[in-house]
Amino acid sequence: MSKITLGRALNEGLRKSMEDDAKVVIMGEDVGKLGGVFRITDGLQKDFGEDRVIDTPLAESGIVGTAIGLAMRGFRPVCEIQFDGFVFPAFDQITTQLAKLHYRSRGKVPMPVTIRIPCGGGIGAVEHHSESPEAYFCHTPGLKVVACSNPVDAYFMIQQAISSDDPVIFFEPKRRYWEKAELDPAATPVPLHSAQVLRPGRDVTVLAYGPTVKTVLDAANADDVPDIEVIDLRTLSPLDMDTVVASVRRTGRCVVVHEAPNTLGLGAEIAARITEEAFYSLEAPVLRVTGFDTPYVPARLEEHYLPDLDRVLDAVDRTLAY
């Protein structure tokens, strides 16, 4: 079995979905001849044609609006938003139309649309290219939100998202596009809306998703650290609280890690849910290691903004000190 990068795994997953279902179309800026700025759609237009891999005008609202029309017509559009910060022009189409059409039509108009968003920082990019907007979408009923963290999940989750009859916002950790892992395409995939325990541990549960999963695994695997249980959330809406709560009941301690700003981020929701569901198991308050409540910082400062191994371990130490 050969190793494959996360970016390549997405490409292979998209290819598989397009082969399996002729109604799957890809659309976005530069997705055709160029293969996307991160080359995630590399070669797909050549093999599936311009009608199925559609280069679009530079108008995100139009991209999502058009995808909604295509979905009404029975297609399964996969939109690429080129960078996280570019999703905001499409925010109205996503929250007002895409998320609500099934509800508004009393179940008559499903919206099997996948919106792929490369997210997060760490690549030294300019403004608008390093954001983590997941909380907005998790706060929107009607949407499902997932984040992949490794090549194996990337390959299977993108296919599961595309085959979902509900709209899925699909976050891709852009600084992990070049991470490699062995992929067995014949393996049985983990269900899309399940969290996964990546590393069992006794002392503290640390939750992460997308780009911070590797950070947390590195922290857990460092020398002379407590025995950390690492959970990759994978699904952000709905959250898989069963897996999280089962873990916290065992460890009694929890740290949530994400790049997005602290206030009203995923960490806040998770902390509230753990308090509701596992209060008597808690030995310490749920702690958060997150980006700060600032706009995404200039590239020269992002190493301070992004949660790193030391900040994760600092929070682990603090929760153990209770």
Partner 1 sequence: MGMQRDGAEDAVIAYFGDGASSQGDVNEAFVFAAAYNSPVVFFCQNNQWAISEPTERQSRIPLYRRASGFGFPGIRVDGNDVLACLAVTRKALEDARTGQGPTLIEAFTYRMGAHTTSDDPTRYRLASDLEAWKLKDPLERMKSFLYKQQLADRSFFSDLEEESDQLARELRRNVRAMPDPEPLELFADVYVDTPPPLQQQRDRFGEYLDSFVDGAEAR
Site residues (vs partner 1, CB under 8 A): 25, 51, 54, 56-57, 59, 61-62, 65-66, 69-70, 72-75, 89, 92-93, 102-103, 105-107, 110, 141-142, 144, 164-166, 193, 237-239, 241-242
212, HSE (Cβ side, Cα atoms, 13 Å):
30
Least separation in angstroms between residue 208's CB and partner 1 is 20
Nearest approach, Cβ of residue 111 and partner 1 (Å) = 9
Tell the smallest beta-carbon distance from residue 144 to partner 1 (Å).
7
Beta-sheet pairing, 144-147 with 235-237? antiparallel
Give me the least distance between CB of 210 and partner 1, in Å please. Answer: 19
For partner 1, the closer of residues 227 and 242 by Cβ is 242
The partner residues of 169 in beta bridges, in order of sequence, read 115, 145
Q: Is the peptide bond before 141 cis (omega within 30 degrees of 0)?
A: no
Structure tokens at 112: 């099997």
Q: Supply 198's token pair.
A: 């990546």
Shortest separation between residue 53's beta carbon and partner 1, angstroms: 12
CB of 127 or CB of 276, closer to partner 1: 276
Distance CA 199, CA 164 (A): 28
**Which of 105/275 has CB closer to partner 1?**
105
Q: Which two tokens stand for residue 115?
A: 């919106």
Which residue number, 10 or 63, has a Cβ lying nearer to partner 1? 63
Catalytic annotation present for 304: no
Considering the complex, state which of residue 107 and residue 321 has its C-beta at the smaller distance from partner 1.
107
Min separation Cβ 114 and partner 1, Å: 14
Coil vs helix vs strand at 239? strand
Paired tokens of 257? 């890690």
Instruction: For partner 1, give the closer residue by CB, 170 or 177.
Output: 170
Show the beta-strand stretches assigned E in the chain.
3-5, 24-28, 53-55, 76-80, 114-119, 144-147, 168-173, 180-182, 196-199, 204-208, 228-232, 235-237, 254-257, 287-289
Catalytic one of 102, 128, 129, 193: 129
- CB 68, CB 93: distance < 8 Å: yes
Phi, psi of 47 (to 5 degrees): -90, -30
DSSP state of 11: H
- Between CA 29 and CA 89 the distance in angstroms is 14
Active-site amino acid positions:
129
